[in-house]
Structure 1
Amino acid sequence: MCDRARRNPDRIVRRSRRRSRGHPPRGPRARFRRVGITAVLLPRALRPAPARGPIAPRRHDLSGRRRPCRRQTLKAMLLAAGRGTRFRPVTEAVPKALFPFCNVPLLRTHLARLGRAGFSEVGINTHHLPDAIRASVRELPSGAPKTRLFHEPEILGTAGALRNAADFLSTDDFLVVNVDAALEPDFAGLMSRHRQTGRAVTLLVAENKEPARFTPLAAEGDRIVSFGRGSSWPLVYTGVSILSRRVLSRIPAGERSLVADLWQPLLDAGEEIGWLLHDGPFSDLGTPRDFLRATRQALTRGGPFPSESGAFDAPTRILSRIPLRGFEGVSTVVGRASIGSGARLIESVIWDGVEIGAGAYLQDCVVAGGRVPPGAIFRDSVLWAAPKETAAAHPLSPDA
């Protein structure tokens, strides 16, 4: 018996006597090869290799074992390039994407939510104050989705941003999220509805309680049939949608909007747009009043809030990153701020780094920076200044 070392000595080779005598195997291991009109059975070992390409068949590795299917990469686009003009002067220094909602920047909140939903890659468009957003992305925790920034020297609008990121988004259907929306979307339900119907676009919508302010959507059955027209049950776009990759080629170059330059032309061309009703609270954070209203609603619901939001005191509905000592308040969010003794904070939002003097009274205010003097009284205002400087009050307009 030959004692020559066998290749791959740790591999167990099972042989059949029929194969060792040159007989073709039977059963599932047999393969047909056609010669003329005769079908000849050939053992697997005698099958000819393909003329080109890898020896292993597709979806098998080089040992012939079947490779596990790669998990599909889910991609999303977070629209964060807006100038936030209705929040000036705060947005002259802080981009809207980094506004702390319930003490957590909107950008971080959305990325954490997308990560939990299985989105492994997220594109973010930038225009206004891009360096601040870039710095925030660098500070994301290790478990956050992989991010890719798409800077727009000239702002491209909600649809133009997608065209600008077409190479990134064109691998499959993708999610679009507005950064200035407060809601807990059912991403899985939206994706399932979109794939079941095979439509060009599927929108996450809510009941439109202000159709004079927000563009109303009209639906017939499970399809959106018009934008901006009256309806017995007007809907509103929540800022969350699923788009089929085939629509990217329909977006013209330049600054373009989703409604006027993509969705309406799709309807005009006979494409169908589906919708799913959002089951839960939804708030657009476009104005300071919207921001305060959404904050009150979140505090009234009582959370849950992420740990970095701070501690929530249910009796007073105060969410705070500092101990509740020396001041009074109700339905207020307090960041890492300095609050003087006897200050009263009513349905307001206090950002990190703010100083509020003793005995100050604030109601329905967003204090985004600077110092509030002792004993000062402010209502219905956005207060803003550089750190250590006295905050200037900017009254909220009636319709803002």
Structure 2
Amino acid sequence: MKALVLAGGSGTRLRPITYTSAKQLVPVANKPVLFYGLEAVAAAGIAEVGLVVGDTQAEIEAAVGDGSAFGLRVTYLRQEAPLGLAHGVLIAREFLGDEDFVMYLGDNFVVGGITDLVDKFTRERPAAQIMLTKVSDPRRFGVAELDAEGRLIGLEEKPARPKSDLALAGVYLFSPAVHEVVARLKPSRRGELEIIDAIQGLVDRGLRVESSVISGYWKDTGNVTDMLEVNRLVLESVESHVRGHVDAASELVGRVVVEHGAVVERSRVVGPVVIGAGAAIVDSYVGPFTSIGAGCRITGSEIEYSIVLPRASIAGVGRIESSLIGHDVEVTPAPHTPRAHRLVLGDHSKVQISS
């Protein structure tokens, strides 16, 4: 079995971060989201990976390399534009050959990995196997409709009136039978080759498509709220270690990671928190569920439930929370200006202004 990992999307929901960074490389607990997916593929015993990339290929290739750091052999497959998930399968046809494959969306996060899913597919050999998860707003996802016996009978992409609350999670397994269906697909109204149309095509041909509702945690890290939630989840399981310097005037509470070269001076850090290599926390408070990237500097400030990307600087601000702060950002206090009121008042108005 091979793996096809899709990392070609533009990440419009994470802008402005993704104007300068690949969305799959935005970190969770100081590790790119894409890396968790590659580790899950390797843990499932898959060695050959086709990595579908787009305009951010150079950045992703610099981060992943040849895949050997993950125990993988990576082949890069260029997608000229984000033309749909099934288009990713189409351009990977030569790489995949006649082997079964797992398709994993590079900005998705699945707790517990995919090993059990791969083992089940290998034993039972359906034409396809999909993961479903209950969501609060199925209009944002591809949605599956099941019959009373739990068999898949229909699929819709981001429907205005969903027939269920079961969304397709970003992991799919296919036999080579999918290639003939994909080759005949027409673009949807969004101008894309939709993977749900390919799955529906397998169903329409009478081929067996298995589905399972996952009980574990899945998240599409497509927006800031989801990124922060996944960051929280990963930090829940960190184990404390201090490889940097923490002075006697500082206090670490709970599970806190301080990486090599990082310093904590006259500060209070309440975990779970990860402080990256070379970062400096000075005269500050860092609260739970915060990831501070490598080379960051936090001085005279408070921050909680946030992700700060490498080399950012936060100085002299009161409190920051629920935030995603990009590479090399500088956050400082606004200059003090006298307060003034600007008014346009009609005749006979009465206005009260506090002093």
User: In the alignment, which residue of structure 2 is the partner of 1:238?
Assistant: 169
Unaligned ranges ≥5, structure 1: 1-73, 394-400
Query: Aligned-pair distance for 1:346?
Result: 4.2
Q: Does the residue aligned with 1:227 lie in a helix, a strand or coil?
A: strand
1:270 aligned to 202, 206, 216, which one? 206
Counterpart-to-counterpart distance in 1, 2:316 and 2:15:
25
Contact 1:80 1:124 in 2 (8 A): yes
Aligned equivalent of 1:147, options 56, 63, 74: 74
**Structure 1 equivalent of residue 352 of structure 2:** none
Q: 1:135 to 1:373 in 2, by over 3 A?
A: same
| Contact 1:346–1:363, Cα closer than 8 Å, also in 2 | yes
Return the letter of the residue paired with 1:81: G
Supply the AA of the counterpart residue of 2:133: A
Task: Name the structure 1 match of 2:19.
Answer: 92
- State the secondary structure of the residue aligned to 2:295: coil
1:195 deviates by 4.2
Flag the 1:329–1:186 CA change in 2: closer, same or farther, 3 A. closer
C-alpha distance in structure 1 between counterparts of 2:186 and 2:321, whole Å: 45
1:379 to 275, 296, 321: 321
Q: What's the CA shift string for 1:43-79, capped at 9, x where partnerless? A: xxxxxxxxxxxxxxxxxxxxxxxxxxxxxxx210011
Distance in 2 (alpha carbons) for counterparts of 1:172 and 1:139: 21
Q: Name which of structure 1's ranges 172-181 and 193-202 shifts more when overlaid on structure 2.
A: 193-202
In 2: Cα distance, 1:381 partner to 1:226 partner:
38
The code of the aligned residue for 1:316 comes to: G
Equivalent in the alignment of 1:316: 254
* Residue aligning to 1:23: none
Worse-matched range after superposition: 136-145 or 159-168: 136-145
Could you tell me how far 1:290 is from its partner in structure 2?
Answer: 0.5
Measured against aligned partners, the alpha-carbon deviations of 1:132-163 in whole angstroms (never above 9, x if no partner) come to 11112227545621000001122232110111
**Equivalent-residue separation in structure 2 for 1:283 and 1:315 (angstroms):** 28
Tell me by how many angstroms 1:196 deviates: 4.5
Q: Which amino acid aligns with 1:368?
A: L
Task: Using the TM superposition, give the Cα deviation of residue 315 of structure 1 relative to its aligned residue in structure 2, in angstroms.
Answer: 5.5
Deviations 1:152-194 (A, max 9, x none): 1222321101110011112211001111112145534323433
1:360 deviates by 0.6
Per-residue deviation, 1:279: 4.0
CA distance in 2: counterparts of 1:363 and 1:114, whole angstroms: 32
1:258 matched residue in structure 2: 195
- Matching residue of 1:390: 330
Which protein is bigger by CA-based radius of gyration? Answer: 1
SS of residue matched to 2:47: strand
Paired residues of 2:103 and 2:172 also in contact (CA < 8 A) = yes
SS in 1 for 2:163: coil
Show the 5 A alignment for 1:57-206.
74-138=1-65, 140-142=67-69, 144-185=71-112, 187-206=114-133
Q: Counterpart of 1:294? A: 230
Deviations 1:225-257 (A, max 9, x none): 2224423xx322221111111111211377412
**For the Cα contact (< 8 Å) 1:372–1:390, is it kept in 2?**
yes
Distance 1:349 1:145, change over 3 A: same
Aligned match for 1:216, one of 121, 138, 143: 143
Q: CA RMSD, aligned part only?
A: 3.1
**Offset at residue 339 of structure 1 (A):** 1.7
SS for the counterpart of 2:99 is coil
- Cα distance in 1 between the residues matched to 2:302 and 2:315: 10
Does the 8 Å CA contact 2:67/2:73 hold for their aligned counterparts? no
2:340 aligns with: none
Deviation per residue, 1:274-331 (Å, 9 max, x gap):
112334222221111111112222333x2579x9x99xx9963444434665332344
Contact preservation (8 Å) 2:24, 2:33: yes
- Output the CA distance in 1 between the equivalents of 2:285 and 2:252: 20
Alignment partners' CA distance in 1, 2:326 and 2:138: 32
Higher relative contact order (CA 8 A, sep 6+): 2
Q: Is the 8 A contact 2:5 2:106 kept in 1?
A: yes
Query: Within the alignment, does 1:365 sit opposite 2:306 as a pair?
Result: yes
Paired residues in the alignment total 309
Letter in 2 for 1:230: K
**So what's the TM-score if we normalise by structure 2?**
0.76
